Amino acid sequence: MKVYKFGGTSVGTAERFRALIPLINDDTNKIVVLSAMAGTTNALAEMSALFSDGKKNEAKNKCEAMRKQYHTVIDALFASETWSLKAHDYADEQFLYIESLFSREYSRHNEKRILARGELLSTVFLYFLLSETGIPSVLVPALNFMRIDKDGEPDYFYIRENLKRELAAVNDEKIIITQGYICRNVFGETDNLRRGGSDYSATIIGAAVGAEEVQIWTDISGFHNNDPRYVENTRVIRSLSFDEAAELAYFGAKILHPSSVNPARMKNIPVRLKNTMEPSDEGTLVTSASIPVDYKAVAAKDGITVLRIRSDRMLMAYGFMRRIFEVFEAYKTPIDMITTSEVSLSLTIDDPTSLEDIVKSLGSIGNVEVEREQTIICVVGDFRPGKVGSAPEIFEALNEIPVKMISYGGSENSVSILINTSDKTVALRSLSLKLFPEA
Ligand code: ADP
Ligand code: ASP
Ligand code: MG
């Protein structure tokens, strides 16, 4: 069994949808995990924001415009009246459902119900399209098996048991289609795995069924050595270890959801990144094997806030860090980077939801300074202890840029550097020139 995940651009238009047929219709038993069509989740999120602001009429107009766009796609997608009619009916049903929510009160739960429509639509379209083409497949709803626990983590036991039951009911089918991104929460309500979460769905499913391989099909031929949205002449990396891929994904490489490597690493399932526009390209293979190279790739994570805590009482004291960390634990706020001196500690967070409360609580420990709009640059390479050289090229490349924090030695695979977000593009470009001069 393999898992194939197709992202939004892979189902962005009727042509792209049809281009999936030969990729799916091979001899492999597979679970196809699908994202919403490109732009759909953004549009649903905008609609929910209008709903939450009490602008129900604007939300309704947006919904109507989207319904029309979907009908145009359906006209281009299906050749036969039978399947086209079924698809039109299904789309109408989904958009009517969204409109019916607008007559209720806004709630986070209703928002999540709205956000879930994109994947429900795309998977039904693929199922109808394969049926029209005469290719047997079966649609297994993700909401029947995908579930997160009270901490928002995948509930592997529940997922494995329920997916097993769903798959046993469709024993002989070679192609199983399901939705990425959507799940149920601990209350059984519709929820999601956060933006870009279909990658995570794919690896969670892969781990649950013990898949031979998970393939992530997107709009680029694999993992590049820098962010192609900001840097020209980036190059594809043929192989990455789970740890390297996880760090790059966590530190901003959009090609993979930040948590998506964990389930594959846990069960040692290879993850292959492939391009739907260039299916014969080799792409990138992520496995447990690590091939050390001085510098492999660079990624950047925005939206970082740095907190600097200073207290003379910290000098020679013990228990200080514990007290600081307890504050973050109390507010369920993960810390990304940390650096310390005798009397101060700097740390970064990417979730500012509880920032005010955190700063207030830290006030009893020391002076707190906060700076927003920071970016963590993560350089993945060979930083094993004992290696000489301390990566001078990184700091030469960043010579002209104010460096706020450096984390070296925490990981064998990466060095993290905090800079102002306004310096990000320059930093990424000069790192590419210095670290990958052959590109
Ligand atoms: P999908 O809709 O298929 O999930 P995404 O847009 O989420 O696709 O991810 C693919 C995009 O990730 C690429 O088009 C590229 O712009 C961006 N990206 C950012 N960093 C990297 C990287 N290091 N390697 C490849 N792509 C990257
Ligand atoms: N459709 C969702 C999103 O746009 C999930 C995904 O594409 O992976 O975030
Ligand atoms: Mg994605």
pLDDT of residue 414: 95
The neighbouring-strand residues paired with 191 are 183
Kindly state the tokens that stand for 243: 């740890």
d(CA 247, CA 336): 11
3-state secondary structure of 126: helix
Averaged pLDDT in 10-residue chunks for the chain of 439 residues: 96 96 94 98 98 96 97 97 98 97 95 98 98 97 97 96 95 92 97 97 98 98 97 96 96 95 98 97 96 95 97 75 94 94 92 96 94 98 86 94 94 95 98 88
Closest CA to 226 of 294, 300, 336, 303: 300
pLDDT in tens, 267-280: 999 999 999 999 99
pLDDT of residue 389: 77
d(CA 217, CA 6): 5
Ligand 2 nearest atom to the CA of residue 7, by list position: 7
* Å from CA of 345 to ligand 3 middle: 35
Report which protein residue has its CA nearest ligand 2's atom 5: 196
* CB neighbourhood size of 102 (10 A): 17
Site residues for ligand 2, CB cut-off 6 Å: 7-8, 35-36, 41, 118, 180-181, 195-198
Encode burial over 11-48: b for 16+ CB neighbours within 10 A, e otherwise: bbebebbebbeebbeeeeebbbbbbbbbebbebbeebb
Pocket test for ligand 2, best of 41, 191, 217, 276 (most atoms within 8 A of CB): 41
3-state secondary structure of 236: strand
Helix 108-115 with 117-133: angle, nearest 10 deg: 20
pLDDT of residue 417: 97
